[in-house]
Structure 1
Amino acid sequence: MMRNFTLTQLRYFAVVAELESMTRAAARLLVTQSAVSTAMAELERILGAQLFLRNRSTGLKLTSTGRAFAMEVKSFLDHADALFESTSDSGEALSGQLTVGVFSPLASFRLPVLLRAFESQHPGVDVTFLEADLATLHTALRDGRCDLALTYGHGLGSEFSSQVLERVPPHVIVSADHPLANSPGHEVALRDLEGEPLILLDLPHSREYYESLFALSGLTPNIRHRFSGYETVRSFVARGHGYALLNQRVHNDVPYSGGRVVPLRLIDEFPPSEVMIVHLSDAVPTRRALAFTNSCRRLYGASPP
């Protein structure tokens, strides 16, 4: 039996499901609230299923059926967009929404410059970001909450496709008054810090990567503090509470707390972290996603795959 719902109804539903509000969805879609409400009621009638729980005190909530339907609709709409874009004029200006996940420690480094470059070329695309840890980004990609992600490659499963943009080796930071701060060539081995207190950047998959470096050296880290904030780690190191292992180097050596950190290159042959653009393997990238990927390649100087 045919189910005569429309793409417009599905697009309205996707926004209502995201915002859990008819009013805010109508504002984003630039239509009246009554148009959204009517479309949702008609969609529920056609499907023969309740998608929302409507309550004056708690507001609008998805039912379990609605949540499952929302996950399918996101993928369906992506495929619909890809189908249209595959037959449209390749010179046509891009428009629409693009949600990009970004690993928190990477967000402050190149993302502002990347967005400015992308928006200058594609002003019609509305880009939003989901800043999170690696595990959360993997889940967001699976759930369709972001179209692609700028992230490290740690912990990626076979369901993801990726393109390497940059390989970043690990390094150590110590306080300016640390005995190793003036090491010749600013180079040390991880063993030179054996037993000293470690300030660990404690994020899912990141901590496993840093702990693996100690295992490769046959060392056991003396973890003194664990923090999820990149700048918090640097601040504690600057004030002499320990040292840290990091990948991305900050040009400014003065953290928020004052003091100063000194980056030291590791002479150990450790595997680098790979900065990647990641998407689901079975998802068809839209022209917007492909354009953003190309902007990333240009910024990072990566070669096409």
Structure 2
Amino acid sequence: MRFTFRQIEYFIAAAESGSIKLASERINISQPSISTAISHLESELGAQLFLRRHAQGLSLTPVGRQLLAEAKLLLDQANRLYQTASEASETVRGTLALGCLVTLAPMILPEVSQSFAARYPGARVLPEVADQEALLNRLASAELDVALGYDLMVPDEFDFEPLAELPPYAIVAQSHPLAARTAITLEELSRYGLILLDLPLSRDYFLGLFAREGLAPRIAARIPHSDVIRTMAANDFGYAIANVRPRSTRAMDGRDVSLLRIEGNPQPMQIGLLRVARRQPTRLVSTFCDHCRTLISDGNVPGMEAPLSAPS
């Protein structure tokens, strides 16, 4: 056998991502390394695994589809060797497939994953960023071991352990008529245009904030990228509502935004750990969950300022 498990891992990442570029971003490995690994596998196995289309990326050949299923089994069996040794020796090692909600990831993912890997050198964190619906699907298919997400319509087949509560707040440009305010009601906000975070489940949460008050927001735009929303709000295209509160009030283009507390105790989001219920966690997963409990709480969320709170 003249191929490595690392090459198998790169092949799986490329197959699931549909492109070398996306696979590179997903597993944080250079594109040439992934291309070389795939070429080596094809040469070693004597089979073409992908059809390469410049505009459409990669698509698996019939042989590639069969090998993908076998490759996943092979990698899973290899990981079990580490898990078995870890359980027997009471050490923490192996690869942790960690999912993180896309809106949380810029703040909490770097510190959580890096601090865990630093504390447990035998462990390797393989991060993946997605919306809540995709995270749940990948947990169910065992592509992820655990995920950091919200308590957004979590089905019964998953366990959700809350770690911190994040109330919603409004984001407006410093030139906005409301910018001098420190707090605002949803009724007042509904008179202006909302730049809605258009992600599965997330959009329902934000629209639900208004629905519970018998209100319907004026939607100025539907955008699935929080950085774009923040920058558009900074340019006074409309206001936005968010739960994560970065330590900087600056948007991507350098403009600052103003943050307003929403009055009336609107429903907060809960950050927490998502796992498949009734699936016994390995020592690696259990140790990671313990690590998150020490890092994330109502008083401290990595990469974020404290929530905007009502005056006491």
Take 2:184 and 2:179, find their aligned partners in 1: how far apart are those partners?
A: 10
1:66-116 Cα deviation digits (max 9, x unpaired):
777777778777777666544x132x3x22211100101111112212123
Counterpart check, 1:188 vs 2:184: yes
Alignment-derived partner of residue 157 in structure 1:
155
Secondary structure, counterpart of 1:277 in structure 2: strand
TM-score scaled by length of structure 2:
0.74
1:235-270 Cα deviation digits (max 9, x unpaired):
000000100111011221110123221111111222
Take 1:209 and 1:82, find their aligned partners in 2: how far apart are those partners?
A: 38
Call closer, same or farther: CA 1:112–1:145 in 2, change over 3 Å.
same
1:154-184 Cα deviation digits (max 9, x unpaired):
021111112111111111111111122112x
Identity %: 27
Secondary structure, counterpart of 2:259 in structure 1: strand
Given that 2:79 and 2:95 are in contact with CA atoms closer than 8 Å, whether structure 1 keeps it comes out as: no
Number of aligned residue pairs = 269
Given that 2:167 and 2:268 are in contact with CA atoms closer than 8 Å, whether structure 1 keeps it comes out as: yes
Call closer, same or farther: CA 1:283–1:24 in 2, change over 3 Å.
farther
Given that 1:97 and 1:125 are in contact with CA atoms closer than 8 Å, whether structure 2 keeps it comes out as: yes
Alignment-derived partner of residue 240 in structure 2:
244
Q: Structure 1 counterpart of 2:173, which letter?
A: S
Secondary structure, counterpart of 2:222 in structure 1: strand
Alignment-derived partner of residue 18 in structure 1:
12
User: Unaligned stretches of 5+ in structure 2?
Assistant: 16-32, 52-59, 300-312
1:139-168 Cα deviation digits (max 9, x unpaired):
111111111101112021111112111111
Alignment-derived partner of residue 96 in structure 1:
94
Take 1:227 and 1:199, find their aligned partners in 2: how far apart are those partners?
A: 7
User: Unaligned stretches of 5+ in structure 1?
Assistant: 1-10, 39-53
Cα root mean square deviation, aligned: 3.4
Take 1:274 and 1:56, find their aligned partners in 2: how far apart are those partners?
A: 42
Q: Which of these two proteins has the greater Rg computed from alpha carbons? A: 1
Call closer, same or farther: CA 1:302–1:160 in 2, change over 3 Å.
farther
Take 1:137 and 1:116, find their aligned partners in 2: how far apart are those partners?
A: 20
Alignment of 1:46-125 (within 5 A): 54-55=47-48, 58=51, 85-86=86-87, 88-90=88-90, 92=91, 94-125=92-123
